[in-house]
Structure 1
Amino acid sequence: MDPLEDVLSLLDTRSHLSAGLVAGGSWAVRFEAPDGVKFNAVRRGGCRLTVAGGGEPVQLAEGDCYLLTRPLEFTLSSDADAVPVDAGTVFAGAENGVAHTGEGEEVLLVGGRFSFGDRARALLLDSLPPVVHVPAGSGEADALRWALDQIDQELRRRPMGSSLVARHLAVVMLVHVLRLHFAREPRTGSGWMAGLADPVVATALTSMHTAPEHPWTVAELAQVCAVSRSTLAARFKDTVGQGPLDYLTHWRIELASERLRRGTDTLATIAGAVGYGSESALSSAFKRVTGTSPRAYRNRHRTG
């Protein structure tokens, strides 16, 4: 399985669309730290994005899109001198899915946010920069514009299933933004995403994600990757930050955790599905990685 698809599926990725924003003249809107990942696209005009603690402001042009991957306050504005107003006040007055601020209609933004399960930050978000900016001239921009056009049509015309279609289209946007980020900054940080930029490591990752229950060895993975064991071990550790079998253990525990949270399978069934020969073997690995037993983990999440 594709590791990116695998992780996004495990994280229960969902999208939530918000009202559009029309602005003109001198204006600024201050937003509270978002829950999840915030995204916006500039459909008309341009503006500035300033993120608390996020470095220099980003100038957004028509056709640009961005992801805000950290729970940080941010401001969208026409210029540095504009006095910001609270987003809650602006969007409380939205009509027909559009909020207005300033004087005029030179700028139009559409957007929303992505929400994830509990493990999103460790598995995905911590490996991304606070702001992922997608310029209009980039290779993924056409796909993003297409997705936004389709979302706009779904929400305006409201055919049957429009909300569901719009949510899935927003997830398509997320995938394209992540692809662009991987292409632009393939070796930023460490972790499984950095590993996807190395063809040898990516082959090993894909093999383990395709069959996590298989009793992989470094020698077998190296054979699949057509390199020596020492080469695979060194390149994997250098990019991902841990050895291949350590990564496999942690991924198996992620899969087991998801089944414990959502399903009713016995521990023995889950153990077999994720590559452990017995319930005790799963319990030992689970407690070593998470610090708690599978039964305690399941009970805690059921209570929650």
Structure 2
Amino acid sequence: MDLLSEAISAIRTGHPTSGMFVRHAPWGRAYPVVPGSGFHVVLQGSCWLVPPDGEPMALGVGDVIFMPRGADHLLVDSLDSAVTEQARPGEPREIAGPGARCVLVCGAYELGRQRSHPLLDELPEFIHLPARPGRHPALRGAVDLLAAEISEPRAGTDAAIPALLETLLLFALRAWFDDRADAPTGWAAAFTDPAVATALRAMHEAPERGWAVPELAAVAGVSRATLARRFTATVGEPPLSYLTRWRMLTAARLLRESDTPLSTVARKVGYQSEFAFAKAFKREYGLAPGQYRRAEDQPAVIAV
């Protein structure tokens, strides 16, 4: 089982959105917090990303900037430019001006609003993936295909763009983890630690099983103490704490994406009693399972 794909699929909701924006200097655009993840790709020209805290980041052609938790920020052509726009539905995709032209693809992914996954939780607020020759060719290819579909729509574009956006998200995260392969920490290390990865796959493949640390350690081929130590150091929590989190994320996904009866959802995530499942779910999400299902039927509106 592909751990990265599973983690993202567990918290992805709704449909990704994107658009191409053309701005001529001087310009400045504010991006408020979004209930999900966002990204920008510079296709032409250059600009600056200004976070609420920390140093501005210079972005050039081909650069990808990814915001795992949809943090608020500014984009400006120059650090001296005033901010005169705010991202909102229906705003003009192109604004003329006397200065240099900048072309951006901006997009957002809706995520489950009550609970995230620790893989995303540990990422920085802003991930800058510069365009470097020979680096991350798959990501570069996804960027090029997405830009072509947005700039010149053809038959099938409405189907192609969501698929390319999903691919871009996975390739951006893969690039981030690949860049840390020489000295992995956190989830980058979890992916490369055979024992931890095996234990994670076992829980992901069968969350309904009554896993205990000795059983997981046997599957992983290490001692209980070794698994507990390495799992906690990389994943950020002990094995059985993560198991509970994964069960709840899986349950939330089933509630969002299907009309599966609550009793069946409970069994699929390791609870023989619907009451025990409902109690555990409410403890994690603050809502009973049925309330959560109804709330998630109301999609968020994300401006890009």
Q: TM-score range by the shorter chain?
A: 0.7 to 0.9
Q: Which range is displaced more, 173-182 or 99-108?
A: 99-108
1:40 aligns with 2:40: yes
Deviations 1:248-290 (A, max 9, x none): 1221122223323443333332222222334344345445545
Task: Indicate the residue corresponding to 1:75 in structure 2.
Answer: 74
For 1:50, the equivalent position in structure 2 comes to 50
Q: What CA distance in whole angstroms lies between the structure 1 residues aligned with 2:38 and 2:219?
A: 39
Name 1:3's counterpart in structure 2.
Answer: 3
Q: Are residue 234 (structure 1) and residue 235 (structure 2) matched?
A: no
- 1:15 maps to 16
The change in CA–CA distance for 1:285 and 1:181 in structure 2 (over 3 A counts) is same
Contact 1:18 1:110 in 2 (8 A): yes
3-state SS of 2:38 partner? strand
Per-residue CA shift, 1:183-232, capped at 9, x if unaligned? 33478885x66633533212211221122223322222212222111100
Q: Which TM-score applies when normalising by structure 1?
A: 0.82
2:294 matched residue in structure 1: 302
Matches within 5 A, 1:136-175: 136-137=131-132, 141-175=136-170
AA at the equivalent of 2:81? A
Distance 2:69 2:276 in 1: 36
CA separation of 1:251 and 1:50: change in aligned 2, threshold 3 A: same
Report the Cα distance in structure 2 between the residues aligned to 1:104 and 1:288, rounded to whole angstroms.
54
SS at structure 2 position matched to 1:264 = coil
- From 171, 185, 205, the counterpart of 1:176: 171
Once the 2 structures are TM-superposed, how far is the Cα of residue 131 of structure 1 from its aligned partner?
Answer: 0.6
Q: More displaced, 278-287 or 55-64?
A: 278-287
User: CA contact under 8 A between 1:34 and 1:73: conserved in structure 2?
Assistant: yes
CA pair 108-156 structure 1, distance change in 2 beyond 3 A: closer
Q: Output the aligned Cα RMSD.
A: 3.0
What SS does the corresponding residue of 1:18 show, helix, strand or coil? strand
Q: Does the 8 Å contact 2:28/2:77 carry over to 1?
A: no
1:83-102 deviation digits (Å, cap 9, x = unpaired): 3322459x8343xxxx1354
Is the aligned partner of 1:84 residue 2:79?
A: no
Secondary structure of the structure 1 residue equivalent to 2:16: strand
Letter in 1 for 2:168: M
Give the alignment of 1:195-234 within 5 angstroms: 195-234=190-229
- Number of aligned residues: 292
- Indicate the structure whose relative CO is greater, using CA pairs within 8 Å and at least 6 residues apart: 2
Give me the whole-angstrom Cα distance separating, in 2, the residues matched to 1:101 and 1:77: 15
Aligned to 1:60: 59
Decide whether aligned partners of structure 1 residues 185 and 101 sit closer, same or farther in structure 2, where only a CA change above 3 A counts.
farther
Residue 299 of structure 2 corresponds to none
SS at match of 1:215: coil
Structure 1 residue ranges without an equivalent (≥5)? none
Residues 182 and 197 in structure 1, CA contact (< 8 A), matched pair in contact too: no
TM-score (norm 2): 0.82
Query: Structure 1 residue 263 and structure 2 residue 263: aligned?
Result: no
Q: Which runs of 5+ in 2 are unaligned?
A: 297-304
